[in-house]
Amino acid sequence: MADTEELQTLKKENSKLKLEARLRKSLSLELERQKGIVQTAKEEAEKQQKLLQKASDRLSKYLSPQICEQIFSDVEFEKGSGRKKLTIFFSDIVSFTSISEAMEAEELSGFLNFYLTNMCDIALKHGGTIDKFIGDSIMIFFWGSTDPRA
């Protein structure tokens, strides 16, 4: 009789161990599935990050660093319309036509590159958004106050 009880106990233990083994296997398979999901999500996040970086790089060529920062930060934009202070700055080289007639093409190109590069640097330093270049002129927007004390 004791052997029968011992045999029953062993069978119960064996059943428990088999169940535990199935659960472990099932858990292992689920963990592998979850790892795959995480890896796929990670790859998608990296892909989206690259796209966002590309967009950021492209926008930064046309907008001031301050506006780019606002676009890509967690700051919410104000909805609706309203009046805002806007300064539009136009600059060109006085007597450019006469100057250009007296220069060789390479010299003129270097002169324009020097002038426009420095104007862009100044504009960006002061929060300007470069709108366009038209020959020797540049058009820049300044949003809000242009007073550095404000």
Confidence of residue 126 (pLDDT cuts 50, 70, 90): confident
- With CA atoms as reference, report the closest residue to 118 among 22, 150, 72, 110: 110
Radius of gyration from C-alpha coordinates of the chain: 34
CATH superfamily label, 79-143: Nucleotide cyclase, GGDEF domain (3.30.70.1230)
User: pTM for the complete prediction?
Assistant: 0.49
Instruction: Write down the pLDDT at residue 79.
Output: 65
Which of residues 102 and 150 earns the better pLDDT score?
102
Question: Which are the contacts of 85, defined by CB distance < 8 A and separation ≥ 6?
Answer: 143, 144, 145
Residues 64-117 have pLDDT tens digits of: 777 777 777 766 666 667 777 889 999 999 999 999 999 999 999 999 999 999
Question: Which are the contacts of 129, defined by CB distance < 8 A and separation ≥ 6?
Answer: 62, 63, 64, 67, 123, 140, 141, 142, 143
How, if at all, do strands 86-91 and 137-143 pair?
Answer: antiparallel
Q: Quick check: 147 pLDDT over 70?
A: no
Instruction: Write down the pLDDT at residue 107.
Output: 95
Question: Which are the contacts of 84, defined by CB distance < 8 A and separation ≥ 6?
Answer: 143, 144
Confidence of residue 146 (pLDDT cuts 50, 70, 90): very low
Calculate the CA 48 to chain-centre distance: 9
Domain range annotation of the chain: 1-61, 79-143
Residues 16-71 have pLDDT tens digits of: 989 899 999 998 999 999 999 999 999 999 999 898 888 888 877 777 777 777 77
Q: Give the C-alpha separation, 86 to 107, whole Å.
A: 36
Lookup result for tokens 């004791």: 2
